[in-house]
Amino acid sequence: MRVIHWIALILVIIGALNWGMWGFFQVDVIASIFGGPSTAISRIIYALVGLSGLWCFSLFKILATCDIKKK
């Protein structure tokens, strides 16, 4: 996988963990770290996570073409 795929995957995982924390504990970790949900840096991170989610759709193509050996 290319570096961009790894970066996108890491950002999607960060977003998923943030949503999990919000769902279970109503804590927005990104907003807590960067001073609120409407600060510029928080909005940039939210946007990057969203774009990474879209980019990860290309991983389905990679997974579909992988040679999986059955045991």
Domain layout of the chain by residue ranges: 3-65
Query: What would the pLDDT profile of 4-57 be if each residue is shown by its tens digit?
Result: 999 999 999 999 999 999 999 999 999 999 999 999 999 999 999 999 999 999
CA dihedral sign, ordered 12, 13, 18, 23: positive
Q: Distance between CA atoms of 61 and 71, rounded to whole angstroms? A: 23
Distance (Å, whole) CA 57 – CA 23: 24
Global pTM reads: 0.82
37 vs 65: CA distance, rounded Å: 39
pLDDT at 17: 97
Distance of CA 47 to the CA centre of its chain: 10
Please tell me the predicted confidence (pLDDT) of residue 68.
Answer: 66
- pLDDT (0 to 100) of residue 3: 93
